[in-house]
Chains A and B, each alone.
Chain A
Amino acid sequence: MTPTSTAGVFGDFYEPDEALGAAEKVRAAGWTQFDFLTPFPIHGLEQAMGQKRSWIPWATGVLAVFGIAFAQAMQNYVMVWDWPMNFGGKPHASWPAFIPITFEAMVFCAALGTALIAIIAGKKDTVTQPPASAANGATVDRFVLWIAATDPKWNADEATRFVRELGADHVRLVDSEGGTHA
């Protein structure tokens, strides 16, 4: 691999609607290793890109169950098994009193775990991303189409022409160092 091999191509769109239309065309043309870099999430773009719903809520569910199990185990271990004490003749396993901590532990595990998993998933569950040094205005006001060179259909000239035909502005190839050229 040469130090400045081509990493992919960028093309700018200026409105969410344009990005939505382009996403369907990119997908219909058979590209798979593509992404949109946007300053804010666009409603419906994941469907247009052919993505399924995020699996994050399932992870939350598992974490929530873990939180419930942990809180119940801890409280019952302490109050029933390890240090049983008599409070006004009430049962040791007084489950209603364990509800608040169980709820809090559920929320704690589910919320913190979900955020962590979502950040990691956003890093992992992606196509090859452009080099971090390739500034592209996608955190400001551009909706940047990115087609990675790892796409099986990849051909630099053809990809550039295709992105231009979509109506993208400022189409440029990106090399692995983050440099761009039209």
Chain B
Amino acid sequence: MTKLETSPYATVMDDSQLTGRPIVVPGAGPYGGDLEIAEPLVTGGKTWAQVDRDICLHAEEFPTRKWWLAFGVALAFLSLLVFALITLFYVGMGVAGVNQPVGWGSFIINFVFWIGIGHAGTLISAVLYLFRQQWRTGINRAAEAMTLFAVVCAGIFPVIHLGRAWFAYWLIPYPNARGPLWVNFNSPLAWDIFAISTYGLVSLTFWYLGLLPDLATVRDRATHPWRKALYNAMCFGWNGSHRAWRHYESAYMVLAALATPLVFSVHTIVSFDFATSVIPGWHTTIFPPYFVIGAIFSGFAMVITLMTFMRGYFGLKNYVTLNHMEDMAKVLMFTGMLVGFAYSTEFFMAWYSGNAWEGFIFKNRAFGPYWWAYTIMFTCNAIIPQLFWFKPLRRNTWVLFAVSILVNVGMWFERYVIVVTSLHRDFLPSSWGMYALTFWDYAILLGSFGLFFTLFLLFVRFLPVVAISEVKGVMDPKVARAGRDRPPIVPALQEVRS
């Protein structure tokens, strides 16, 4: 049996003492070299019992005025969505901006945008889990919830794009009285139905499986018998049995291994909607990786946006530390560079292929009537994340927040550029045209944010926003154990740093 290695140094640190660099103890290493100790993932010398209290409390208290305010604003935007959708169904597709030649407009842009946002949650929970990145524990629960709600938002758009949304169930292949008339399984649009619904349901399962032990924690803290009974039913009577943990851990690993290729497949299939067409600017083999990396990029930006809010608002600064934020900034910069690389590759291939249509469409993208959209896209996605080469900027939450918002804007415009600029000038100059969003397009876009934030605020109101059992697993038992007073923050910490 091997004993857990716990360091004698500074596993208790305050948030302000974090530097993002390991603590170096000269000469203390196993072969006489330097010993490098990672900074703790949870700061403030928390005990396991305190973790429960810190994370469950806001779901147990009566909501604050700030929560109601935020919820009210979100509900207002959600009503805007409902109003706009009723108008769309009642009046017809004419209220939206789509027309010839731009027949795919804001609905498809918003669909790809939201599905992209929905990629970071499962990436954080599955891919970072397989790579044993323990810092994921602080952010994975909220990121997975974000994924689910983003998929819900995304799911609206293909349905309303159909024009006759009330026939959306025709997309599902089932023996029917219409022939039976089946969907065409050779079509990427039919693949999309399977990809999105599978992704939504598997993400939900993965998220809920992670929630089980935490729901048991909430149950054991509950005082009202109804609340206890409700949470007990929700966690299937989880009692922490290690014989159950054994299967649970195995299933969690299996789900992570299944979800990882799933994340990559979903946006790949979304990109097939474009790439299997014959439109210049869409018909390229780079689309699947380009879409996947863009999705991860935009998803991480949204996680940063939400986390900067949540760690302040819910007092999670000890669980989502500056080190977590810095790690996310690094991922954001890396994926941002990949996105920039994809933009450049597209241009190179347009020139190198010698295809006149392809060459024209890319010149038109960057310098045609939609040059401003291309400029916003390129600046926000490829240039602004370069700020994160500098450590002080990676650790500044104001900078992180601003950059994450800009990246979200840039990624919306990336989809705008892909959809609109490829369609508005095709093979025949006589059928060229322009596209503009109408009031109702904007209303549905803003309303979808209302839906997203309504769901997210309900999530933070009723469920633990941090994966309690996973966070407990990465804490130092010597510090976090029961039956001991909270140890003081190590005052001599600076002395052991070299």
Interface status of B322 (Cβ within 8 A of chain A): no
Report whether A78 and B182 are in contact in the complex, using a CB–CB cutoff of 8 Å: yes
A124 to nearest B CB, angstroms? 9
Q: By CB atoms of chain B within 10 A, which of A14, A100, A138 has the most?
A: A100
Q: How close is A148's CB to chain B, nearest CB, in angstroms?
A: 11
Q: Are A114 and B255 also in contact (CB < 8 A) when A36-B242, A141-B482 are?
A: yes
A15: contacting residue among B179, B182, B469, B478, CB under 8 A:
B478
CA of A100 to CA of B482, assembled, Å: 50
| Chain B residues whose C-beta falls within 8 Å of the C-beta of A35 in the assembled complex | 241-243
B258 contacts chain A at the CB level, 8 A cutoff: yes
Q: Which one, A108, A115, A141, contacts B48 given CB within 8 A?
A: A141
Question: Residue of A at shortest CB range from B190?
Answer: A101
> Interface residues of B: mostly helix, strand, loop or mixed?
helix
Q: How far is the CA of A112 from the CA of B255 in the complex (A)?
A: 9
Residue of B nearest to A90 (CB): B186
Residues of A within 8 A of B70 (CB): none
Contact partner of B480 (CB less than 8 A), chosen from A17, A111, A119, A141, is: A141
Q: In the assembly, what is the distance between CA of A101 and CA of B473, in Å? A: 37
In angstroms, Cα B249 to Cα A41, docked, is 8
Contact B186 A37 (CB under 8 A): no
Interface assignment of B216: CB less than 8 Å from any CB of chain A: yes
Return the contact of B216 from the options A51, A130, A139 (Cβ within 8 A): A139
Residues of chain B contacted by A42 (CB below 8 angstroms): 242
Contact B251 A118 (CB under 8 A): yes
**In the complex the two chains form, is A140's CB within 8 Å of B217's CB?**
yes
Contact with A along B451-463 (1 / 0, CB 8 A): 0000000000000
> Are B1's CB and A105's CB within 8 A?
no
Other-chain residue from A40, A75, A115, A141 in contact with B251 (beta carbon distance below 8 A): A115
**Minimal beta-carbon separation of B279 from chain A (angstroms):** 17
Indicate if the CB atoms of B244 and A139 lie closer than 8 Å.
no
| Nearest CB in chain B: distance from A40 CB, A | 4
Task: Answer whether A57 and B254 are a contact pair too, CB < 8 Å, given A40-B470, A78-B173, A126-B243.
Answer: yes
Q: Measured between alpha carbons, how far is A111 from B216 in the docked complex, in Å?
A: 22
Q: Mark A91-104, 1 if CB is under 8 A from B, else 0.
A: 00010011011011
Q: How far is the CB of B146 from chain A (nearest CB, A)?
A: 19
Complex CA–CA separation, A16 to B201 (angstroms): 34
Q: Are B242 and A123 in contact (CB under 8 A)?
A: no
| A21 in contact (CB, < 8 A) | yes
Complex contact A111–B186 (CB within 8 A): no
- Check A57–B250 contact: CB distance below 8 A: yes
Judged by a CB distance under 8 angstroms, whether A46 is at the interface is yes
If A56-B250, A140-B49 touch, does A38 touch B240 (CB 8 Å cutoff)? yes
Instruction: Decide if A160 is an interface residue (CB 8 Å cutoff).
Output: no
Count class of interface residues, chain B: 35 or more
A87 and B213 in contact (CB under 8 A), knowing A38-B240, A40-B469, A125-B247? no
In whole angstroms, how far apart are the Cα atoms of A49 and B246 in the complex? 11
State which residues 207-262 of B face A: CB under 8 Å.
208-209, 212-213, 216-217, 219-220, 232, 236-251, 254-255, 258-259, 261-262
Residue among A14, A51, A140 with the highest chain B CB neighbour number at 10 A: A140
Partner of A104, one of B188, B194, B206: B194
Tell me whether A100 and B258 are in contact (CB under 8 A). no
Verify B246–A54 contact, CB threshold 8 A. yes
With A87-B186, A103-B261, A111-B205 known, 15 other A-B pairs at CB within 8 A are A14-B482, A16-B4, A17-B3, A21-B1, A40-B472, A40-B473, A41-B473, A44-B2, A46-B246, A57-B254, A83-B179, A122-B245, A123-B244, A137-B482, A140-B217
Q: 30 interchain pairs (CB within 8 A)?
A: A16-B4, A16-B477, A37-B240, A40-B472, A40-B473, A46-B246, A56-B247, A56-B251, A78-B173, A83-B179, A87-B184, A87-B186, A110-B254, A111-B206, A111-B262, A112-B201, A115-B206, A115-B208, A118-B247, A119-B236, A121-B247, A122-B245, A129-B239, A129-B241, A138-B239, A140-B48, A140-B217, A141-B480, A142-B482, A144-B240
